[in-house]
Amino acid sequence: MLRREFLSASLAALALQPADTPAEESLKQAAAPSGLLVGSAVSYREINEAAFAQLIARQCSIVVSENDMKWKALRPAPDKFDFTRADALVTFAEKNGIKVRGHNLCWHEALPDWFSKIANPDNARELLTNRIDTVVRHFKGKIHSWDVVNEAVDVKDMRADGLRRSPWLNLIGPEYLVIAFRAAAKSDPDAILTYNEYGLAPDSSQNEAKRRAVVALLRWLKRNEAPAQALGIQSHLKGKSPFAGLQHFLGEVRELGVRVFVTELDVNDEPFPVDIATRDRMVAGVYRDYLHTMLEERYVEAVLTWGLSDRDSWLRHRENRAAGVPRPLPFDDRLQPKPAFFAMREEFKKASRRD
């Protein structure tokens, strides 16, 4: 099945036909019967490129802003907010009937250059709540879910609570998480408030330690009446690895009454052979195995990749490889579907058939 589809995709590419033709069932069409939301991180540049905008509109029932809603993007100066790009993204999504995830409200990265110059223990709370109030109110009613706090756990920082020694922790203490979630809930009670984290998959001793710390954090947030209603499992995968332990982890999260999104899925193919056909096939296998595990229980409500096309993958700017460039996503540089696309679509169809 995969081979035939891969060949037809290749022939389509050779024929320079847009392989994403109406006849080609899209990811969101395959997922729709199960109610699973599927999509990708997108950028201002991509929504303003006709072919890419068409691909997003056909494939995605939900999108997330990759960078255009981060603090650095929205607040170039302490007294200046610039929503131009983020508004364009939300408008594009609304026009195409696509839900929007907001990313993110509180993170230790992508802080504006002025932040470290003016933030101190006396004003940090105000800086954080002002940012969240202003941004969440600006988009009130337009956001499906917010990544309220991103990547607050780092067990390598050796704290008993597993928290990362981030600027927010250093300036405010662990309470910054409670402040962030409460501020977001006050400004938009309808958005699903999400704690977003990487390093929860695949199975490894390091990732298991992080899973323990995240479950403990979710319990602590609940005890402190901080409305973390969902967990975002980023899912930046690399090579072929086991995922069986995720089922137990998902069960623990479910017992806390916390919803689950796969928020930043991609498969770093660096460990795979250089040959493109082999690499693409192995990447597709990882997508298939991972989505089979994550969707088996029908508990995951949304799956978003961290980009649709290899061309714009963050990994392109991150890795200098001995040979080749990263091919982590469902579409190639020419926006043609890769084996990963067909593997994802098949898993979404299987999830729909389970109902």
Which residue numbers are catalytic? 151, 264
Assess whether the previous peptide bond of 104 is cis (omega < 30° from 0).
yes
Contact between 148 and 168 under an 8 Å Cβ cutoff? The reply is no
Query: Closest by alpha carbon to 348, among 27, 8, 109, 13?
Result: 27
Closer to ligand G3I by Cβ: residue 270 or 296? 270
290-302 burial: b if 16+ Cβ within 10 Å, else e: bbebbbbeeebbb
Contact between 349 and 9 under an 8 Å Cβ cutoff? The reply is no
Mark the segment that binds ligand G3I (CB under 6 A) among 48-56, 57-65, 66-74, 336-344.
Answer: 66-74
Closer to ligand G3I by Cβ: residue 114 or 314? 314
Query: Closest by alpha carbon to 19, among 48, 45, 54?
Result: 54
Residue 234 interacts with ligand G3I (CB under 6 A): yes or no: yes
Strands 230-233 and 236-238: unpaired
Mark the segment that binds ligand G3I (CB under 6 A) among 63-71, 163-171, 215-223, 322-330.
Answer: 63-71
Mark the segment that binds ligand G3I (CB under 6 A) among 64-72, 119-127, 238-246, 269-277.
Answer: 64-72
Residue 66 interacts with ligand G3I (CB under 6 A): yes or no: yes
Rounded to the nearest whole angstrom, what is the least distance from the CB of residue 71 to ligand G3I in the complex?
A: 10
Rounded to the nearest whole angstrom, what is the least distance from the CB of residue 150 to ligand G3I in the complex?
A: 6
Among 12, 110, 171, 209, binds ligand G3I (CB under 6 A): 110
Closer to ligand G3I by Cβ: residue 30 or 105? 105
Pick out residues in 154-193 that bind ligand G3I (CB under 6 A): none
Name the residues that contact ligand G3I, by CB under 6 A: 66-67, 70, 109-110, 150, 198, 234, 264, 314
